[in-house]
A and B are shown apart, each in its own frame.
Chain A
């Protein structure tokens, strides 16, 4: 059974949740909409289809402390960073970003479990929002994601002036407990139908992914067209930073003056020093680095995860690449059995 709330009373709901939990939502700041902590002064932008950066930062922050060291003479004191212990809600996550959490789980919750990520997953409630108007750059449909009915602890629909809620998990039931029951669910059904119609018409909605799997690993890797595809790639890493599924990280030390802060931060396989060692790098040109990023998403990851692609079709890389080189080009150029 669904719950409902007039849309203009959403701040009231956020205010109530905020008494006990942090609320993270799409918020406009400096002309951009990104997931951030909601406060009374926030400009909430549930109408923005795509935040500039994905929602992954809620569970895998761009920068986070791992451990601090105090050094004295030859001695070292080790102080591990605390894992998150407070509950939070991330509100307004789209279906694509919601899938990315499942993909990140495959990495960070596989043995050995990453304690920082695991704590955030444990304490976070994911509230997703159906996409009323998917855009031309959206291609989530290729990966079995339903933008009309996204997964999450709670799924929401904004139909006219009302927001509808459906709890999908225990966390979701707790979240929606105090909300009024929906009188009539037909606006949601109507909305879902409309969305499904839009999804059917998306230009990249039905890509042929045949041949992108572990069985064709060497064939895809050795394709002679990689250098042509990578031509023009600046190695700027923008695709990586806006990507919901890119999860490679760097570990760095910073001397604060009083101690050493060891933190991890997002990194990119598109960067020339990513694999650089004392004796050189195994990916000397941008072609190899470009190939690594797409091979990982479309071949290596599915090879290790029952065919699951490490792409959610959010289309951020299509929009943000300064050279318009992106995963659609790669899928279309290297796909096999196109005509089959």
Chain B
């Protein structure tokens, strides 16, 4: 049976409201368990027949045995529909697609710095939990995460109770764009916050967020002495097939769906700046 563009069935077994425009959907195979195995940073095509199909990063870590989660921001036809459905709804899913973060190779043994903005935490969430579940394989771990407001911080309960727990041996630094009642944490944009935290340029960095944030984070890191071979990101482009054939996510001689979505910044330097 054709399988690379034919989806399989999934069922939504839990829906969590994270922020005013982000929900996290738990997806399992119809007879239970994960629809497929994946690695952190990989994506899946989710569709609602009649509405459309779109690519989403897999938010949960591969170490989660029974399901996969997707944090989805409401911003288009498919995501709008997903946000309005109820638990028990079947959807279609295919994947996993793309090159993951090199968690078992280049990242192993390194001191890690995760930098995320808004829903950009979603793809890094998978890596962070993978690192947490294999904590002794990695060195120091810092997470810098910012959003527009405290309501827009994704996964706040998990961040506070798990990632910030001393047992996790991870340092979490949160920031929001503007002053807000009930917020006594840091206020300011992510790139400046990273500079204030004054990291030594010996970390391996994973960054994901709005393009403008990524741009200024990269400038900040360069100022701090980091080089591009130390910094990874994950890209988002329109996709239809997920297997490098439909042509939509083509940048230079790469296809983001199969050659990415994870790229190191020195690799991006070799591509036209068309993303």
Contact = CB atoms under 8 A, between A and B. Distances in A.
Q: Do A and B interact with each other, yes or no?
A: yes
B237 to A, nearest CB: 7
Contacts of B92: 69, 76, 78
Interface string B1-21: 111111111000000000000
Give the interface size bracket for A toward B. 35 or more
A78 B7 contact: yes
Contacts, number: 124
Interface stretch (B50-58, B103-111, B163-171, B226-234): B50-58
B252 interface: yes
A296 B244 CA distance: 13
Contacts of B180: none
Contacts of A161: none
A303 interface: yes
Contact of A218 (B8, B88, B211, B272): B272
Given A78-B8, A250-B246, A282-B275, A69 B253 contact: no
Give the interface size bracket for B toward A. 35 or more
B90 interface: yes
A304 B253 contact: yes
B9 A76 contact: yes
A116 interface: yes
Contacts of B6: 66-67, 78, 80
A247 B245 contact: yes
Contacts of B50: 69, 71, 253, 255, 260
A278 B272 contact: no
A115 B2 contact: yes
A249 B250 CA distance: 12
A235 B234 CA distance: 30
Interface string A201-221: 000000000000010011001
A275 B246 contact: no
Contacts of A218: 270, 272
B251 to A, nearest CB: 8
Contacts of A283: 274
Interface in A74-133: 74-76, 78, 80-81, 83, 107-108, 110, 112-116
Interchain residue pairs A-B with the least CB separation, the first 6: A248-B247, A69-B49, A115-B2, A278-B75, A303-B253, A112-B4
